[in-house]
């Protein structure tokens, strides 16, 4: 297949940019089906400041203050607890994990 330079319009800033024949060949070799949506400047800016991913989540961690279901100590956990399920502080969680590993080895 023969490739020719094509002019595309950036979805972010609206400027036109060239999708070169070499880039098209690379996309074809890699099996990419979609052509680029952003110019190189907008693509670089987006890479520097990544926002939420496609799934809607971002890389920041959720910290929730709660009380340990075993010892009653106030703690933070890296998730949003589900109602009706026990939540443990780090120490109690590690104790329960160690106890579970011992009982499973028999």
pLDDT tens digits, one per residue of 37-60: 999 999 999 888 866 555 555 556
Domain assignment of residue 59, yes or no:
no
CA gap 6, 24 in Å, rounded: 9
pLDDT tens for each residue of 12-40: 999 999 999 999 999 999 999 999 999 99
Domain assignment of residue 54, yes or no:
no
The parent domain of residue 36 ranges over 6-48
12 and 39 assigned to the same domain: yes
> Looking at residue 52, what is its pLDDT?
58
Domain assignment of residue 81, yes or no:
yes
Looking at residue 101, the DSSP 8-state letter turns out to be H
pTM of the model: 0.46
43 and 11 assigned to the same domain: yes
Count of the separate structural domains present in the chain:
2
Domain assignment of residue 72, yes or no:
yes
11 and 44 assigned to the same domain: yes
pLDDT tens for each residue of 61-101: 778 899 999 999 999 988 888 888 999 999 999 999 998 86
Beta strands in 1-106 (DSSP E): 6-9, 16-19, 64-67, 74-77
């Amino acid at each position: 297949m023969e490739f020719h330079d094509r002019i595309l319009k950036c979805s972010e800033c609206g400027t036109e940019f060239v999708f070169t024949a070499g880039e098209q060949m690379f996309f074809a070799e890699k099996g990419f089906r979609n052509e680029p949506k952003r110019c190189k400047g907008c693509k670089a800016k987006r890479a520097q400041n990544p926002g939420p991913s496609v799934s809607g989540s971002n890389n920041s961690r959720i910290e929730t203050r709660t009380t340990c279901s075993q010892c009653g100590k106030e703690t933070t956990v890296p998730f949003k607890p589900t109602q009706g399920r026990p939540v443990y502080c780090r120490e109690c969680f590690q104790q329960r994990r160690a106890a579970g590993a011992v009982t499973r080895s028999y």
